[in-house]
Amino acid sequence: MCEYGFEFRMRLLISSLVVVTQQNKTRSSCLSHSKAYNHPISTRSTATYIGQPTSDTFLNKRRANEKMPFGPTYDIINTLARWSLNSYFHTITISNPHEVPPTGPVIVAANHWNMTIDPAMLSSRMPHGRRLHYWAKNTLFKNPIINFILLDAGNIPVDRTTRNNQLLFKGTFDVLKLGECVALFPEGTSYTEPKIIQVKDGIAWTALEYAKNLRLTGQELSGSEGTAGGLVRAPEAVEDVKVIVCGLNYTDKTRYRAAVQVEYSTPITLDPTVVERFMTAGEEKAAVKLLIKAIEARLRSVTVNADDWESLWTAQILRQFIWPLDGLGPLHHYRHNMQQLVNIMSIKEDSPPSIKNFRTDLIEYHRQLTAVDTTHLEFVQVFPTREARARLAIEAARCLCIWPFFCLLALAHLPVYIGAYVGSRLQPDEPESMAQNKVVLGLFSGLAMVPIYVTMIVRMLVAEQEERDWTRLMVGTMVGLGSVIVMHVMHDGMIDGAYGAWKRLRTCWRLKEDRLDELWDLRDRCLEAWTALEIELRTQNHPAFTSLLATHHSSLSSSSKSLAPSSSPINSSDRILNHLPVDHDLILDPPVDEKSLLRCKKTL
């Protein structure tokens, strides 16, 4: 009945003395993008309060803060997770952080598509600095050392064998009455599919059982040192829990330097009538179904869902057609834009032949690109018009210009690269495990090299000292640590340019002239079909296309606020057409308009 999504967290905790390496300041941006959701469960911000603060409120609050169910282990793990995720992903954007209440009990429900990367992402990106508790099997707490680590990190022991829900959720009730947050994964396990496959009802049982316990016991706590801080009564008034649904949207969860949009939904506040129904004998399951349907609908609204892989693949290529600079567009609209493109490319019974034919060409284009392990964005950057051999020479020259400056930093990080490469080969058939393995082994390798590098630097600084000078040794150690940090910051600042040059060179090497011609013809055909389809969708006022135009127009408007206004207005449709890839290379070719090229091809 319950989803023990944090079974995987155990691997993060123990491996967290791994979880991730290095990085400069976080690049995550908190962007507000409010959405309205219709739902059978009330979304009112009102909450039910039970009980009053105890007589000595100040002393009880102080005691609760001193015995809060989090210790330094959580801070260590969270810091490592933040550093490692900042290093692995190019950009992490937080949408709707204002939807998360700064105080009060909260259950966070998130999709689970990327193993331990998911809890690491949730914990390190929680708004207002709120900390998250996770469930763990009570059998894991038998070992004293593991017990200390798990409890110190704020994990809640859960007994799977009991059928008494009040006993099952005892630790969860404690932390919620103390105003904490609990994170659960309603899907129950991590998997790789184009859409949400299942949503189990354990999270609904948790929320409603807590509401029931609240009305029966008020501020009473279990007195457990691990989950209640030794308290037998909550120091402040307790209230009903809010359910916040979070969508973790990875642009490509297996690729290094991909991007992530973390999107929060509006809170789900328990309707008193649903709670009353749950507390009525024989009506528990009916109340749970009402709540879980609400949670499932909200979860699908903050994630990208496609009926099949082909719809998702074609939407990804189409997204790169529309936003040729980075292939993503505004990241705070990523989930919304991708869902609209998926809706456009999904085949239905009444779909016109133009969409079906366009989809067929895009699928073939995707397969051709996948065969050489590249993307449309990389392909058009490398091969606008020239032959493969000429492009290979140009890209090799570019690498020779970039890599000498990056070479020393790359050599220092070579153990990290090797560890990540080995991690990517451990479970090649499980995409949901690939990023986790690369991050964990890369972190192990990087942490192992830090003392070695520091020792080497210290030895160079004190090599001429015959007698041990502790002051100089301490200064040398600080200089060594500072040098390692500076090297890592410089590495992360240069990695995108160097890595991009390497990928383009690799694409040149793999593509032969016969395949190059085939890919070029496919790309031309797809772009020509998209130009015609875009006009057709605009004429029909296609709802998904209209929604896509709205966000595209707003993103262009916001990005051009600092520019002078244009003398003639341009409609949203023209803006998309004008942002199609321009068919030229800045080094080899003069600028050539895309439409002119297509007309020239027809003439030939």
> What DSSP letter does each residue of 28-97 carry, written as one string?
-EEE--------SS---S---EES---TTHHHHHHHHHHT-S--HHHHHHHHHHHHHHHHH-SEEEEE-G
How many structural domains compose the chain?
3
Model confidence band, residue 466 (pLDDT cutoffs 50, 70, 90): low
pLDDT in tens, 331-372: 999 999 999 999 999 998 888 899 999 999 999 999 999 998
**Is 147 in the same domain as 39?**
yes
**Is 448 in the same domain as 589?**
no
Residue 565 domain flag:
no
384, 584 Cβ separation under 8 angstroms = yes
Residue 132 domain flag:
yes
pLDDT in tens, 581-591: 333 333 334 34
pLDDT in tens, 111-163: 999 999 999 999 999 999 999 999 998 888 889 999 899 999 999 999 878 88
Helix (H), strand (E), coil (C) string for 315-358: HHHHHHHHCCCCCCCCHHHHHHHHHHHHHHHCCCCCCCHHHHHH
Q: Decide which of 301, 335, 362 is a domain's last residue.
A: 301
Global pTM? 0.81
Q: Decide which of 279, 301, 323 is a domain's last residue.
A: 301
Residue 1 domain flag:
no
**Is 315 in the same domain as 281?**
no
**Is 92 in the same domain as 188?**
yes
**Is 538 in the same domain as 596?**
yes
Residue 564 domain flag:
no
**CATH number of the structural domain spanning residue 92:** 3.40.1130
Residue 224 has a pLDDT of: 87
42, 269 Cβ separation under 8 angstroms = yes
SS3 373: coil
**Is 426 in the same domain as 495?**
yes
137, 160 Cβ separation under 8 angstroms = yes
Residue 563 domain flag:
no
**Is 33 in the same domain as 54?**
yes
Phi and psi for 507 in degrees, rounded to 5?
-65, -40
Task: Measure the CA–CA gap between 104 and 526, rounded to whole angstroms.
Answer: 52
The residue segments making up the domain with residue 541 are: 309-383+513-556+572-603
Lowest mean pLDDT among 137-141, 204-208, 447-451: 137-141
Q: Decide which of 244, 272, 301 is a domain's last residue.
A: 301
**Is 190 in the same domain as 321?**
no
Residue 109 domain flag:
yes
pLDDT in tens, 507-543: 888 887 767 888 888 999 999 999 999 999 999 888 8
Lowest mean pLDDT among 42-56, 60-74, 234-248, 262-276: 42-56
Nearest to 270 by CA among 339, 224, 206: 206
Residue 549 domain flag:
yes
Residue 566 domain flag:
no
Task: Measure the CA–CA gap between 442 and 446, rounded to whole angstroms.
Answer: 6
Looking at the predicted structure, is the pLDDT value of residue 57 above 50? no
**Is 320 in the same domain as 429?**
no
Looking at the predicted structure, is the pLDDT value of residue 389 above 90? no
Tell me the sheet residues that pair with 248. 262
| Angle in degrees, CA 65, 66, 68, rounded to 5 | 60
pLDDT in tens, 293-322: 999 999 999 999 999 999 999 999 999 999
Phi and psi for 565 in degrees, rounded to 5?
-65, 145
Residue type at 71?
G
Residue 299 has a pLDDT of: 98
Distances (CA, A) of 160 to 4, 115, 157: 9, 21, 10
For the chain, the residue count is 604
**Is 82 in the same domain as 176?**
yes
SS3 414: helix
Please tell me the number of Cα atoms within 13 Å of 334 on its side-chain side. 26
Residue 71 has a pLDDT of: 86
Task: Measure the CA–CA gap between 100 and 105, rounded to whole angstroms.
Answer: 11
**Is 98 in the same domain as 201?**
yes
Q: How far is CA 283 from the centre of its chain?
A: 37
**Is 332 in the same domain as 414?**
no
